[in-house]
Amino acid sequence: MKLRNASAAAAAAVVLALTATACGTGSDSGSNGDKITIGIKFDQPGLGLKTPDGSYAGFDVDVAKYVAKELGYDEGKITWKQAPSAERENLIKNGDVKFVVASYSINEKRLKEVDFAGPYFLTHQDLLVRADDTSITKVEDLNSKKLCSVTGSTSAQNVKEKLAPQADLQQLGGYSECLTGLENKAVDALTTDASILAGYASQKEHQGKFKLAGLSMSDENYGIGLKKGDSDLKGKINKALEKMVSDGTWDKLVKQHFGPSGYKNEPAPKIAG
């Protein structure tokens, strides 16, 4: 008899758990009434990072806050949602988020699936090297170097196919894994967008240890991703971005988040209508 009670309890628990998760699934469609959901990165210092006290910090986060405020949502009304690189289009298409501010470069392939407001930031693919390393001055130097990037990223493919086909490329799950290797001299350089690299180099634990090589290997225009065809929202966000640049907030934020690494940022890009 005891056994039957246990199995009944187990079955009830399963049903409960399933309905609980199921409820969480459908209710949210980006913004309902006075709340707004925004997709950001959770693990990129300088751009979008979940800090130990549970708050969020970074350039993308502050841009998102500014835009949300212009749209009429105070900071307290924002629900942050993790938007890993591979999930960004899905999040937008499913309406899980209103818009995505997550080091999201505008390119042809993505434009087929989503629309972009902005760009709000221009950066280039670059290298992060140890501060005392002067052996990499041009792209060709990479052919004899050990290089690290994140599995499946466009930066990794760029290197493999165009920039330095002979480079020994290691692909790992995340940038901080590469950073451990860079610190310990298991790899010579870490490649991705300069803004991301600058974010790591600016962290207080890393200041003085790494530097950017300053090679502009590609142009990456960061945009704010939103649902295809939502020109109303796109217009509003573009207006907010223009205001952010003209009132000096943009300069202030760039200095605050990328300054300590000595990263020379490009001027604010012109918003494409």
Partner 1 sequence: MFDFLDSGQYDLLGAFWVTAQLALYSAIGSLVWGTALVAMRVSPVPLMRGFGTAYVNLVRNTPLTVVVVACSFGLNQTLQVTLGGDDFKEIGFRLAVLGLTAYTGTFVCEALRSGINTVPAGQAEAARALGMSFTQVLTLVVLPQAFRAAITPLANVLIALTKNTTVAAAIGATEAALLMKEMIENEAQALFTVFGIFAFGFIVLTLPTGLVLGWAAKRLAVKR
Partner 2 sequence: MNSVLYDVPGPRARQRNVVYTILFLVALGLVAYWVLSAMADKNQLAAEKWSPFVTDSQVWTTYLLPGLAETLKAAALSILIALPLGAALGIGRLSDHRWVRVPVGAVVEFFRAIPVLLLMMFASAVYAQFTPVSSDFRPLYAVVTGLVLYNASVIAEVVRAGVLSLPRGQGDAAVALGMRKGQTMLYVLLPQAVTVMLPALVSQLVVIVKDTALGGALLGFGELLSQNRQITANYGANTIAAFTVIALVYIVLNALLTHLAARLERRLRQGRRAAAVKDVAPVTNVEMGGANAGGV
Binding site for partner 1 (CB under 8 A): 86, 146, 151-152, 168-173, 177, 180-181, 184-187
End-to-end CA distance of the chain: 71
Q: How many residues at the interface with partner 2, by CB under 8 A?
A: 43
Binding mask 1-30 for partner 2 (x = CB under 8 A): --x---x--xx-xx--x---x--xxx-x--
Nearest to 85 by CA among 60, 68, 65, 67: 60
Under the binding rule (CB under 8 A), the answer on residue 111 touching partner 2 is: no
In angstroms, the CA 250 to CA 243 distance is 9
Nearest to 128 by CA among 174, 60, 177, 196: 196
| Cβ nearer to partner 1, comparing 21 with 184 | 184
**Residue listed under structure tokens 């605050």:** 256
Pairing status of strand 48-50 against strand 56-57: antiparallel
Q: Which does 26 bind (CB under 5 to 8 A by kind): partner 2, partner 1, none?
A: partner 2
The distance of closest approach from Cβ of residue 269 to partner 2 in the complex, given in angstroms and rounded to an integer, is 27
In angstroms, the CA 66 to CA 63 distance is 5
Which residues sit at the interface with partner 2, rule CB under 8 A? 3, 7, 10-11, 13-14, 17, 21, 24-26, 28, 42-45, 49-54, 81, 84, 86-87, 90-91, 94, 96, 173-177, 179-180, 183-184, 203-206
